[in-house]
Amino acid sequence: MATNNPAKTLGLMGFFALTATMVLDVYEYPTFATSQLNLMFFLIVGGILWFFPVALCSAEMATIPQWEKGGVFTWVSETLGERWGFTAIFFQWFQITVGFVTMIYFMLSALTEVFGWQILDQNPVYKTLAVLAIFWLVTLSQLWGTKVTDKLIKFTFSLGVVVPAVLLLAFCIIYVAQGNPLAFSGSGRNLLPNFHDAATLVVFVSFILSYMGVEASATYSNELKNVQRNYPIAMIMLVVFAIVINSIGGLSVGAIISQGDLSLSGGVMQAFDAYLVHFGIDSAILVKILAFLVAFGILGEVSSWVLGPVSGLYMAAQRGLLPPLFRKTNKHEVPVPIVLLQGALVSVWTIVLTLFGGGNNVSFQVALSLTAVIYGLMYVIFFTSYFKLVHKMPALKGVYQVPGKKVGKTIIAGSGMVCTIVVLGISFVVPSSLPQASGLTYQLMLLGGALITLTLPFVIYHFNDKSQHVIIHKPIHLKATETNWLVRPAARGEHMIVSDEKRLRMAEQKVMQKIKTKL
């Protein structure tokens, strides 16, 4: 089990490596490309005004004695109460039930290139069935645990994420160095966006979404040597890395694909096609290989997300906040009821988003924005929790402290809160990348999804019988050495899933060990 005072085993570069995977998402490049040169502005603003506040505030809360375990659930429960703690962990988990849809959309676009089955990516009914088939095959494979997935991800990350990203970036650099014309137009030619046109600012949502999940890596700050010095440096390195990689990634797509032709789910393959044609490489086989690698990379990412976020909800179940059914696991320590519930929710989102949105850019953008809105709701609770810690609970001190004392902490957290509220509001503006005729569909679908999401955790908490809180288990936090560093921090899961039966055996073994020691 993790101890309250874990050894300081992580150096600066080790901690950076532990968190760097969170900004490596090839499937976000087409969305970034819709902002053209404005993307550098959005990445910088998002990094300074949102990413840093989340990272610094979560590190302070994670290093408070007795708050090291449980992540957002613990931090919020200790400040705002158990109801809000459950709501926060619910939103942190629930966002991925929509996020799966965007990932598999991207995967389908790549598979369409491999097999030439255009109907998979263009017909809403077939697209719905394909998303459901892929998701459930991956989900069912996870019921045997993550041992196979952990090995698979080593290949999917290197071959399906790193290789396509490096090739795409290399093509872009050569293309630009040759002096070829860029497919930018209008305000997209400028570094600063048009602040008078809200439709062009909606893309800021996707940039904030790319930074979301950093609070999961903050829980490892207890293992970081000289945390007060090294943690901020690691976060600065991470933001610089994100700005460079994502800027080149987004520009590599936007430089060669015009806005009118850009597919949000298939933009990467469009860019590969265009670059190969431009460089005179007429190889259908090479295009299919690249498409297969991209699909392979997304397969690994989908697999990694199936069980990771579930651990947070399972922790809430072991605290008695969900019916006893959701505390059950199989022999592989997989909480099957929660995984099946997750699968049912993903299925509902897939049907609604794909059939009602037409399965094209509207469906993709609604799914992307809804994911950001759900996660954003969690961050509103998170920052509210931090404000209460600073202003109402000053006696509680973390090993790491956000600079500036009370005033500095308030300004930094306030920046993050304001950005979060802006993202929530601007998400409902119809993006300029969507046809005007689809605007009402986009807004209604997004509003409906947001209202359902906002209601669910309060209904679940209200109707669950709190008198049944018989067994209350403290979460077992995973150490850095126990995680797969190639998986995004938020997808790893912060807690070890341990069944009631195994906990009982562990407790018995601990008692027996004490008896033997005394003898």
pLDDT in tens, 302-348: 998 998 889 888 888 888 888 888 888 888 889 999 999 999 999 99
Which residues lie closer than 8 Å to 515 by C-beta, 6 or more apart?
none
Closest-CA residue to 157 (of 250, 296, 286, 309): 296
Longest dimension (CA), the chain: 81
Give the C-alpha separation, 104 to 110, whole Å: 10
Give the C-alpha separation, 134 to 221, whole Å: 36
- pLDDT by residue (tens digit) across 468-483? 555 566 667 777 777 7
Closest-CA residue to 310 (of 494, 70, 69, 93): 93
pLDDT of residue 3: 42
SS3 of residue 279 by DSSP: coil
Task: Count H helices and E strands in the chain, helices first.
Answer: 23, 2
pLDDT of residue 1: 38
- Which two three-digit tokens encode residue 466? 């709190």
pLDDT of residue 377: 96
pLDDT of residue 2: 40
Length of the chain: 519
Q: Distance between terminal CA atoms of the chain?
A: 24
Amino acid at 105: Y
Give the C-alpha separation, 330 to 334, whole Å: 6
pLDDT of residue 437: 81
Q: Tell me, what DSSP letter sits at residue 10? A: B
Give the C-alpha separation, 72 to 94, whole Å: 14
pLDDT of residue 146: 76
Looking at the DSSP bridge assignments, the partners of residue 10 are 224
Give the C-alpha separation, 114 to 293, whole Å: 10
| pTM (2 d.p.) | 0.89
Phi, psi of 476 (to 5 degrees): -100, 110
**Consecutive 10-residue averages of pLDDT for the chain (519 residues):** 55 84 81 85 92 94 88 93 94 94 91 85 90 95 82 85 89 90 69 74 85 86 88 91 89 87 86 90 85 90 89 85 87 91 96 86 90 95 97 92 94 96 92 82 93 94 68 69 78 73 67 69
Closest-CA residue to 112 (of 360, 435, 368, 434): 360
Phi, psi of 142 (to 5 degrees): -85, -10
